[in-house]
Amino acid sequence: MTTVEKRNIFVRLLSGFWHFLDESRRAVINILFLFLLFIIVTSFFKEKITVVPDGSALVINPAGFIVEQKDYINPVQKAIDDATKSEKPPQTELKDILDAIRNGAGDKRIKMLVIDTNQLMGAGMTKLQAIAEAIQDFKKKSGKPVIANGTFYSQASYLIASQADEVYMDPMGAVVLEGFGRYRTYFKGLLDKLGVNFHIFKVGTFKSAVEPFMRDSMSDKAKEANMRFLSVLWDAYKDDVAKARNLTSDEIENYAVNFAELVKQEKGDNAALALKAKLIDGIKDNLEFTALMVDKVGAGKKGKSYKKVTLNAYIKTIHSPIEIYSDDTNKIALITAKGEILDGEQVEGKIGGKTLAKLIRRARKNENVKAVVLRVDSPGGSAFASEIIRREILATKAAGKKVVVSMGTYAASGGYWISADADQIWARPTTITGSIGIFGMFPTIEKPLNDNGIHRDGVGTTPLAGAFSIASPLSDDVAETIQQIINHGYDNFLEVVANGRHMTKEEVNKIGQGRVWVGVDAKKLGLVDELGNLQDAIHAAAELADLGDDYEVMPIKRKLSEDEKLLQEIFSDAKIDLTGLAAKGSIALNSQHGSNLPLAKVINIASKELDKLANFNDPQGMYANCMCMLDH
């Protein structure tokens, strides 16, 4: 065979392979197009008008985690996640739950309330208490009965369920009260083995956010501070449950502390134990509970269940899809700041310094807005971004508008930085706040590189040239410079709090040092003004602005782009189940069981810690973050 013939055969093979790739690409694109077209078409036919039958039970069934504000998810990604039953935990907004319960009290179509916590994955203590208070208020104002039913009650779900007149549980269920704990994963030993040198810069005896990278255990100071706020949370939990169930706090304590022995006495029958401990009123499986509810409210339209309307369906009937506000009414702007504080623009789920500043600016420039309530639920983050937000708050006050902060589950470190200058600060007794401290971290990996024959060398015109390379050791001069910057950042933090709270820097330093405080202690220390909920803060803002009762609460949210609006409209109701197709193709779309493996859990914990570091984007590397989020 000649060289030319060989070349021709090679060219034909290459041409054929390219043709195959091109056709495959077209096929994949066409399949994706048809998939998206299918979603678009089905979305127009899936919209259902919810009708609430007279005498219905309103079922409060929060799914996933209860949050102040849902994380923003790209609509296309959300549709795909729904279709593939993605593991990403769902979220339910606290406001929706509270609005549904409050509205249901006066709704003549609603005969009773049913608490179903089977899909609840967790919530902060302040959120659970807000729901518990709303249920108690529902009972007082309406006189309607409240029944709770669950397969299994976690500590979070039981606080809500315990508020019911009657609490039922499955025969194979349990009520597990673990108390509150603060456990972290420490990497110092692993980092030493790998030769990773984490350079830590911090101010604050209690600033324990960076301990996992510099220790193998929790420091005594961190244990002291953590145990204090955990004890307050646990005492509040026991008191709330005991009051609702006509028990004593000691009885709840005994159940939790001696759980193993109590289970043994009941020969492993958790349901019998819960009944004996008076935590539940009856044991019923799903069929028995459905029969009970049919007796109370009647059968549903199809006869398969009882007459009911679920949380999401009911919310659609009471919330207008379009928010309309009159132009001639005084407004209180309500702005939510939820998540870690990062520099720049961010979507919901994180607080962007620039994004939140824009929202506050919109409120400031709106002539009808007379006061601003900032709802803060954040453990902190970038010091620079926090300062950008604070400056906008000062500008709003300078414009003659009152600013009131309402703290949620967390308002610590950077979360406190953005709160300090408010005219009033409201917190729950169980809010986690304070943590006035600053830190920075910088890793270098020169040792493992050198050990494997990789070296770094060169020249520069100044001592700072190449000083921040992770492949080279950090010089003592540069390390001292960074520490000086961190010290200055802490001094700025002290000044911010001192000016905002009318204290001296020395007074702030005594209660600062990175220590986390719980709301009830923060009030005694002068870090917050009043203890109460969001509604209390709104009323306070109206009073400060001399509005009386003549005002509207107007939420100010990030404006979606035109593309985001279009995609949200198209995909909002598109739901396709592809799990059956995946099962046929042996595709593991749901690794729920695998995620429970011990190794997978360890990897997940480490991944979360690294994700936090990956999100850090402060221009100066200074962070005011308490790293005090509790596992729900």
pLDDT at residue 168 tops 80: yes
Whether 413 is a known active-site residue: answer yes
Residue from 329, 421, 424 nearest 370 by CA: 329
How far apart CA 554 and CA 560 sit, in angstroms, is 17
Half-sphere exposure of 630 (CA within 13 A, CB side): 23
Which of 157, 208, 386, 413 is the catalytic position?
413
Angle made by CA atoms 578, 579, 580, in degrees to the nearest 5: 90
- Say what the alpha-carbon torsion angle 379, 540, 400, 324 is, to the nearest 10 degrees: 90
Work out whether the CA dihedral 189, 194, 199, 202 comes out positive or negative.
negative
Is 207 an active-site residue?
A: yes
523-546 tens-digit pLDDT: 999 999 999 999 999 999 999 999
SS3 156: helix
70-92 pLDDT tens trace? 998 876 666 666 655 566 789 99
Per-residue pLDDT averaged across 454-460, rounded?
Answer: 92
Residue 607 makes CB contacts below 8 A (sequence gap 6+) with none
Among residues of the chain, what percentage have pLDDT more than 90?
A: 71
Tokens coding 277 = 């401990």
Q: Which structure tokens are listed for 411?
A: 């308002």
Name the CA radius of gyration of the chain, rounded: 28
Q: Which two tokens stand for residue 430?
A: 């169980």
Tell whether the model's pLDDT for residue 190 goes beyond 80.
Answer: yes
Output 128 or 561, whichever has higher pLDDT. Answer: 128
Over residues 576-592, the pLDDT tens digits come to 443 443 333 332 323 33
Q: Is the pLDDT of residue 443 over 80?
A: yes
**In this predicted structure, what is the pLDDT of residue 581?**
35
Q: List the alpha helices (DSSP H) in 399-501.
A: 414-417, 446-451, 476-501
Which domains, ranges and CATH numbers included, belong to the chain?
56-181+220-318 (3.90.226.10), 331-559+616-625 (3.90.226.10)
pTM of the model: 0.85
Number of H helices, E strands in the chain: 23, 23
Residue 280 has pLDDT above 60, yes or no: yes
What is the distance in angstroms between the CA of the first residue and the CA of the last residue of the chain? 73
The mean predicted confidence, pLDDT, of the chain is 87
Mean pLDDT score, 512-533: 97
pLDDT (0 to 100) of residue 414:
96
**pLDDT tier, 612 (very low <50, low <70, confident <90, very high otherwise):** low
